[in-house]
Structure 1
Amino acid sequence: MRVIILMVILMTSAFASAQNNVPQYFNGYAEEISGKRFTYHSPFPDVSAALIMRGRADFEPISWLTEVVPTSYNDDFVTFIWVYSMDTDPEPVPFILSVDGTEWFRFSSPLVSEIGTWSVEGREGAELKFYVTMLDKFKDEMGFAILKLPIRAIRKGQAATLEIAAKPVEDNSWFMTYKTAVAEQIDLYQNMVVVKDGDQLLHSLSVDIIHLGEDVPCSVQIGNQRTETRLKAGYNHLEIHLPKVDAPTNIKAFISIHNRVIQERTFTMAPIKEWEIFLVQHTHSDIGYTRPQTEILAEHLRYIDHALDYCDQTDHLPDASQFRWTCETSWSVREYLRSRPQEQVDRLVERIREGRIEATGMFLNYSEIIDEPALAAQTKTLRMLKNSGIDVSTAMQNDVNGIAWCLVDYFKHTDVRYLTMGIHAHRARKPFN
Structure 2
Amino acid sequence: MKKVVFIIFLNICALQILSAQFISKNDHPIFGFDTKISGADFNYHFPIPNISNSILVRGNKHLHTMEFLTKPVPLTFNDKTALFVFPFAIGSNAIPIHVDFYVNDVLMFRFDTKDNPKWKLLNPNGSELGFENIAYDGNRDMKGFLYLKLPTKFITNGKPIKIKLVAQDVDSQTWVILYKDEIKNEIKARLLPGIIESKGVEKQTVFIDVYHFAAPEKAVIKVDGKVVSKIELKLGFNQLSITVDRVLNQKEIFIEVEKSSGILSQKLTLFPTREWFVNFVQHSHTDIGYTKPQTEILAEHIRYIDYALDFCDLTDNYPEAAKFRWTCEAAWAVEEYLLTRPKSQVDRLIHRIKEGRIEVTAMMFNFDEIPDENILAASLSPLKTFKNYNIPATVAMQNDVNGIGWCFADYFPDLGVKYVNMGTHGHRALICFDLPTVFRWQSPSGKEMIAYRAEHYNKGNFVGIETDNFENFEVKLLDYLSSLEQNGYPHSITQLQFSGYLIDNSPPSIQACENVRKWNEKYKFPKIKLALSSDFFEYFEKNYYDSLQIIKGAWPDWWTDGFGAAPREVMVTRFAQSDIMAHSSALALTKILGSTLPKGTNSRIDEVLKAILFYGEHTTGYSESVRDSECKQTLEQRALKESYAWEGYRRGKTIGETTYGLLQDYFPKSSEFASIVVTNTLAWTKSGVVKVYMDNEILSQNALFTIFDNHGITVKAQIAETRAEGAYWLLWIDSIPAFSAKQLYIKILDKNKPSIKQNPITSQDFYIAENQWYIIKIDLNHGTITQLYDKESNLNLIDSTSNYQLGEFIGERLAERSSLESKRMGSHERFPLDTISFIGIRYGDIYDVLEFKGKTKLGTQNDKTNFSVEIKIYKTSKLIELRFMINKNINTQPESFYIAMPFLLANGNIYCEVPGGVMQAGVDQIKGSANDWNTAQSFVSIKSEHSQIVVSSNETPLWHFGNINMGRYKAGALPETTHLYSWPMNNYWV
Per the TM superposition, whether the score is higher than 0.5 is yes
Query: How has the CA–CA distance of structure 1 residues 133 and 241 changed in structure 2, closer, same or farther, with 3 Å as cutoff?
Result: farther
Offset at residue 311 of structure 1 (A): 0.8
Kept after mapping to 1: 8 A contact 2:135/2:142:
yes
Q: What secondary structure, in the 3-state scheme, does the structure 1 residue paired with 2:282 have? A: coil
**What SS does the aligned partner of 1:95 have?**
strand
Q: Deviation at 1:304?
A: 0.8
Segments of 5+ residues of structure 2 without an aligned counterpart are: 1-22, 436-990
* Alignment partners' CA distance in 1, 2:262 and 2:25: 19
For the 8 Å contact 1:359–1:392, the answer to whether it is kept is: yes
Tell me which amino acid in the other structure corresponds to 1:159.
P
Among residues 94, 97, 102, which one is paired with 2:102 in the alignment? 97
How far apart are the structure 2 equivalents of 1:61 and 1:401?
37
Correspondence 1:284-323 to 2 at 5 A: 284-287=285-288, 296-323=297-324
Q: Which amino acid aligns with 2:72?
A: V
Matched residue SS, 1:317: coil
What residue number does 1:195 align with?
194
Residue 315 of structure 1: CA displacement? 1.5
8 Å contact from structure 1 (residues 44, 235) kept in 2: yes
Aligned 8 A contact 1:195 1:201 in 2: no
- Other-structure match for 2:353: 352
Q: 1:173-225: CA deviations, max 9, x gaps?
A: 6654322334333222345xx22547987655432223345554445455799
Q: Measure, in 2, the Cα distance between the counterparts of 1:168 and 1:289.
A: 28
- The CA deviation at 1:32 is 0.9
Task: Please report how far the alpha carbon of residue 282 of structure 1 lies from its aligned counterpart in structure 2 after TM superposition.
Answer: 1.7
Cα distance in 2 for partners of 1:71, 1:145 equals 21
Quote the Cα distance in structure 2 between the aligned partners of 1:308 and 1:83. Answer: 46
Following superposition of structure 1 onto structure 2, how do residues 369-388 of structure 1 map, counting pairs within 5 Å?
369-371=371-373, 375=377, 381-382=382-383, 384-388=385-389
Q: Which runs of 5+ in 1 are unaligned?
A: 1-18
Deviation at 1:318, TM superposition (A): 1.4
- Kept in 1, the 8 Å contact 2:394–2:418? The answer is yes
Map of 1:34 onto structure 2: 38
**Structure 2 letter corresponding to 1:113:** N
Higher helix fraction (1 or 2): 2
> Match for 1:48 among 41, 48, 52?
52
Query: Per-residue deviation at 1:26?
Result: 3.5
* Counterpart code for 1:26: I
- Between the aligned partners of 1:264 and 1:378, the Cα distance in structure 2 is 59
1:74 CA displacement: 5.8
Q: 1:373 to 1:344 in 2, by over 3 A?
A: same
Q: 2: distance between equivalents of 1:361 and 1:420?
A: 11
Partner of 2:109: 106
Structure 2 residue 246 is the aligned partner of structure 1 residue 247: no
After superposition, what is the alpha-carbon deviation per residue over 1:114-156, rounded to whole angstroms, capped at 9, x for unaligned?
45x7352453xx4324252525243646214233332x53444
Q: Give the residue type in structure 1 aligned to 2:237.
A: Y
Which stretch shows the higher mean deviation, 244-253 or 168-177?
Answer: 168-177
Task: Name the structure, 1 or 2, with higher relative contact order (CA <8 Å, separation 6+).
Answer: 1
When residues 180 and 293 of structure 1 are mapped into structure 2, their CA distance, relative to the original with a 3 A threshold, is closer
Aligned ranges for residues 260-275 of structure 1 at < 5 Å?
A: 262-263=263-264, 265-273=266-274, 275=276
More strand by share: 1
* C-alpha contact (below 8 Å) 1:119/1:128 kept by paired residues: yes
Return the letter of the residue paired with 2:353: I
Are the counterparts in 1 of residues 99 and 165 from structure 2 also a CA contact under 8 Å? no
Letter in 2 for 1:51: I
Secondary structure (helix, strand or coil) at the match of 2:347 reads helix
Change (3 A) 1:168 1:286: closer
Does the 8 Å CA contact 1:210/1:234 hold for their aligned counterparts? yes
Shift of the 354–228 alpha-carbon distance from structure 1 to 2, 3 Å rule, reads: farther
CA distance in 2 between counterparts of 1:190 and 1:288 reads 43
Preserved CA contact (<8 Å) 1:52 1:176: yes
Cα separation, 1, equivalents of 2:87 and 2:365? 47
CA contact (8 A) 1:50 1:179 kept: yes
Task: Give, in whole Å, the separation in 1 of the partners of 2:366 and 2:101.
Answer: 53
- The answer on whether the counterparts of 1:394 and 1:420 sit within 8 Å (CA) in structure 2 is yes
Aligned match of 1:324: 325
Shift in Å, 1:396: 3.4
1:136 partnered with 2:139: no
Provide closer, same or farther for how the CA distance between residues 121 and 141 of structure 1 changes in structure 2, counting only shifts above 3 A: farther
Per the alignment, do residues 255 and 331 of structure 1 end up closer, same or farther by CA in structure 2, a change over 3 Å counting? same
Deviates more, 1:231-240 or 1:164-173: 164-173
Distance 1:404 1:114 in 2: 48
1:341 positional shift: 0.9
Alpha-carbon offset, residue 250 of structure 1: 1.6
Counterpart contact for 2:101–2:110, Cα < 8 Å: yes
Q: CA deviation at 1:317?
A: 1.6
Structure 2: distance between partners of 1:294 and 1:171:
29
Q: Determine helix, strand or coil for the equivalent of 2:207.
A: strand
The equivalent of 1:211 in structure 2 is 212
Identical amino acids, percent of aligned pairs: 29
- The offset of 1:47, in angstroms, is 2.0
Structure 1 residues 133, 209: closer, same or farther in 2, change over 3 A?
Answer: farther
Q: Deviations over 1:335-385 (max 9, x none)?
A: 22221111111111111111111123445545555436963x666654643
Within the candidate set 88, 93, 96, 1:84 is matched to 88
- Deviations 1:284-325, CA, capped at 9 Å, x for gaps: 345566776665542221111111011111112211111101
- Counterpart CA distance in 1 for 2:297 and 2:362 is 20
Q: Match of 2:238?
A: 236
* In structure 2, distance between residues paired with 1:366 and 1:94: 41
Alignment partners' CA distance in 2, 1:371 and 1:20: 66
> 1:161: which partner in 2?
162
CA distance in 1, matches of 2:64, 2:396: 54
TM-score (normalised: structure 1)? 0.74
Alpha-carbon distance between aligned partners in 2 of 1:246 and 1:166, rounded to the nearest angstrom: 56
**In structure 1, how many angstroms separate the alpha carbons of the residues matched to 2:46 and 2:425?**
27
Number of residue equivalences: 404
RMSD across aligned positions (CA): 4.2
* Residue in 2 that maps onto 1:5: none
CA offset at residue 281 of structure 1?
A: 1.8
Is the CA contact 2:25–2:217 (under 8 Å) kept in the aligned structure 1? no
Contact 1:85 1:177 in 2 (8 A): yes
Aligned AA for 1:195?
Answer: G
The TM-score with structure 2 as length reference comes to: 0.36
2: distance between equivalents of 1:91 and 1:395? 43
Task: Report how far residue 33 of structure 1 moved.
Answer: 1.2
